[in-house]
Amino acid sequence: MTKKERAAAVTELLKSVYPEAVCALHYTHDYELLFATRLSAQCTDARVNIVTEKLFKQFPTLQSFADASEEEIAEAIKTCGLFRTKARDLKACAMMLIANYGGRVPDTMEELLKLPGVGRKTANLILGDVYHTPGVVVADTHCIRITGLLGLTDGSKDPVKVEMQLRRVLPPEESNDFCHRLVLHGRAVCRARKPDCPNCTLRPWCDHFQKNA
């Protein structure tokens, strides 16, 4: 069986278990997803959602972020960790979106990567969830770890390498939802410290399960 065939089989299994493939971050406007993803660095999605519920009320528009001081934003996001750096990026990003893009989040990888604090993970998430462009969101260690166990990648821990390897084997139309489902699976079943292998739908394809069966 080729890696593409394996990827297709895993994709269908994940779809059966997690039919609703949704982003774990809460947002209304495209820039809110951009900002929430920046806040999620070294922070849980659950914590980010708690913070952004108040943050987006305190700063209800992109202009309000641009007008706020870094200190004001930092105070609002301080429980997310790295809050001073993130506050600087949020303000600078808001100013750049207004000045260069008419207040609209750009829709290409090249332009997204020009924004302060935006890397390929964030860019892929925006392209997939906002613009419905096929992308591979290597959002956290779940994706890196599980795709390695499933033999879809060579076990690399480098997010960019994992993204490129997955692009070669995943059906493009399924890639965005595949990544969301993999995160859900990593949190619910394939937990790094205590994987629930007996109840894992993906165990026929998992190297870890086969070695320890």
Helix, strand, or coil here: 117? coil
Q: What is the pLDDT averaged over residues 101-108?
A: 96
Residue 134: the pLDDT is: 83
pTM greater than the 0.75 cutoff: yes
4 labelled catalytic: no
| Choice among 86, 121, 129, 177 that is catalytic | 121
What does the alpha-carbon distance between residue 146 and residue 48 come to, in Å, rounded to a whole number?
A: 24
Q: What is the pLDDT averaged over residues 144-163?
A: 90
Q: Read off the pLDDT of residues 156-172 as tens digits, 9 standing for 90 and up.
A: 889 889 999 999 999 88
Residue type, 92: A
45 labelled catalytic: no
Residue 112: the pLDDT is: 97
| Choice among 30, 89, 129, 140 that is catalytic | 140
Please name the residue that has the structure tokens 């033999």: 151
The half-sphere exposure of 189 on its side-chain side, counting CA atoms within 13 A, is 18
Q: Read off the pLDDT of residues 59-78 as tens digits, 9 standing for 90 and up.
A: 999 999 999 999 999 999 99
Residue 208: the pLDDT is: 66
